[in-house]
Structure 1
Amino acid sequence: MILIALDDLSQLSGLFGLIAVLVAWFYGAIVLYKYFQTKEKSLFYFFLAIIFTMAPWYPSGLGYVYWLFTREELAYQAYVLLGTLGTPIALLSWLQIYMPALHPKKKELATLLIFCLSVAFYIYLFFFVFFAPGAPVDGVIGIKRSPIDIDYKGFILVFLAISLLVSTITGNEFSIVSLKVKDSPIVRWKGRFLIISFNLFAIGAIGDGFITLTPVTLIIFRILMMISSTTYYIGFILPKWMKKLLSLK
């Protein structure tokens, strides 16, 4: 057993990572409850999308909790799997909302393409984590920059980038189409919240992953993620309290 110490920036990363994950799960729990009430498939897909969109931050948040109790870091394999397994689920779930609404005739093709890409991703992931000579091969998976943060490499990084690009482009299209619905103020407001959500998430994810973080920038990017989860939930559900706030019937 090797006890480790976390520097201030790592602890800050873990704390704000945990808060960001809990915010997403809070909204996810509300959506799941609504799904059990209504049995609407779109709500279940949205539940999966909202909780697994934050998957890359699971290891940071959960790793911090683990460290608080044990003063140890998560095993490398556990860290990588926590941070990557949910991303294909989030992307496929979002497509089950986006494609039927905007491109129903292309739904099966788009789903098949992303599904095949996801299978390739999982094969690559498990091979280099568990089965390749010298596994885990961190050079093609990810190199930890601290006990609770990692820089992904190889096809892992490529897949995460593709997922971010696809979700940002499709999310903006979905939002813009909603903004153009003239006879429904509710739909237009949903579009406003969603366009904020998708773009804040992209900014936060890129900043968090590719910019050298300081305490200030880390807090800013993680707060952007929390706002993104909040506006994602509001934009999709538009709860009663928000309708009242906006004077919508």
Structure 2
Amino acid sequence: MRIDELTDYDILNGTTNLIFIIISFIIGILIIIKCFKTGTRELFTIGLTWIFISSPWWGNTFTFMGILLFNMEPNLLLFIILNNIFIPVAMITWIYSFSKMVYPNLVKKLMGIYSTICILYEIFLIYLLFIDPSLIATQVGTLYIKVTGYVLVYYIFAIVTWIITGILFTLKALESDDKRIRWKGKFLLIAFIVFSIGAFLGTILVLDPITLVIVKIILILSGFFYYLGFFLPKKLENFINK
């Protein structure tokens, strides 16, 4: 497939997804680097979480780049795999980080529950890939698929988990006597809420060009707030504390 066969919507969709994924990878890698500098192990999985949380847009971006660089024909099966198979990785790395830092006495229990759910999701996903991929997602456009059935239910479950645990995760920071830590907590709370809104809208709506741009801006903003939650610049801190 040639690039001139892509619609303006395809190019807009592919470009905005690419921007979001690049930003997500940069933020995730910076957090992982901070892990090695500080020796805080949980930062490693927190960084991985933000990388893999962008995975529902990997299939789109891989296909978009394949068409741009190699005139690759879109492959629905590959699209579905890339968009869906890594979401449980994000959930597991996040639940591990969350439980270690907020409820260390519940690490094994929470990891056991979520690992079981994620493994069952992956088993059904692989099974349906062989039986009928349309039971997982339907292709709306060249670079656009919408999840259906149990995958949609899993997406909503993941978003609800993210927002609830995100709020609980930031509570300790918000209660701190240290202003800097409180501000970091506020930015993280905004990140969790903003990402959840963007992910939810992207999941339930069939996006037109306007709503597509709005959702991608929301997702990109969530990444910046997530970054500020871990790397609050001194100049910004001084400004907001005036």
TM-score (norm 2): 0.91
User: Per-residue deviation at 1:144?
Assistant: 1.0
Corresponding residue for residue 34 of structure 1:
34
Give the letter aligned to residue 244 of structure 1: K
1:141 and 2:141 correspond: no
Corresponding residue for residue 178 of structure 1:
173
User: Per-residue deviation at 1:3?
Assistant: 5.6
| Aligned-CA RMSD value | 1.8
Following the alignment from structure 2 to structure 1, what is the Cα–Cα distance between the partners of residues 149 and 205? 18
- Answer whether contact 1:60 1:148 (CA < 8 A) is retained: yes
Kindly report which structure 2 residues correspond to 1:236-247, keeping only aligned pairs within 5 A, or say none. 237-239=230-232, 242-247=233-238
- Answer whether contact 1:16 1:61 (CA < 8 A) is retained: no
User: Per-residue deviation at 1:34?
Assistant: 2.5
1:87 and 2:81 correspond: no
Give the letter aligned to residue 102 of structure 2: L
CA gap 1:187/1:213 in 2 versus in 1, 3 angstroms = same
- Answer whether contact 1:21 1:57 (CA < 8 A) is retained: yes
Q: Secondary structure at 1:209's aligned position in 2?
A: helix
Could you tell me which runs of 5 or more consecutive residues in structure 1 were left unpaired when the two chains were aligned: none
CA deviation vs aligned residue, 1:152-171 (integer Å, no higher than 9, x gap): 12222121111111011110
Q: Pick the aligned partner of 1:157 from 152, 177, 181.
A: 152
User: Per-residue deviation at 1:148?
Assistant: 1.2
Corresponding residue for residue 63 of structure 1:
63
Following the alignment from structure 1 to structure 2, what is the Cα–Cα distance between the partners of residues 27 and 214? 28
Following the alignment from structure 1 to structure 2, what is the Cα–Cα distance between the partners of residues 91 and 116? 12
Give the letter aligned to residue 245 of structure 1: L
User: Per-residue deviation at 1:138?
Assistant: 2.5
Following the alignment from structure 2 to structure 1, what is the Cα–Cα distance between the partners of residues 195 and 54? 10
In percent, how many aligned pairs have the same letter? 27
Following the alignment from structure 1 to structure 2, what is the Cα–Cα distance between the partners of residues 85 and 243? 39
Give the letter aligned to residue 97 of structure 2: I
Comparing 63-72 and 143-152, the one that deviates more: 63-72
Following the alignment from structure 2 to structure 1, what is the Cα–Cα distance between the partners of residues 49 and 183? 20
- Answer whether contact 2:49 2:94 (CA < 8 A) is retained: yes
TM-score (norm 1): 0.89
Provide the aligned length of Structure 1 versus Structure 2: 238
CA deviation vs aligned residue, 1:60-112 (integer Å, no higher than 9, x gap): 22221111123334322211111112211111111122112222222211111
- Answer whether contact 1:171 1:195 (CA < 8 A) is retained: yes
User: Per-residue deviation at 1:119?
Assistant: 0.6
Kindly report which structure 2 residues correspond to 1:219-238, keeping only aligned pairs within 5 A, or say none. 219-235=213-229, 237-238=230-231
Could you tell me which runs of 5 or more consecutive residues in structure 2 were left unpaired when the two chains were aligned: none
Following the alignment from structure 1 to structure 2, what is the Cα–Cα distance between the partners of residues 91 and 10? 29
Q: Secondary structure at 2:202's aligned position in 1?
A: helix
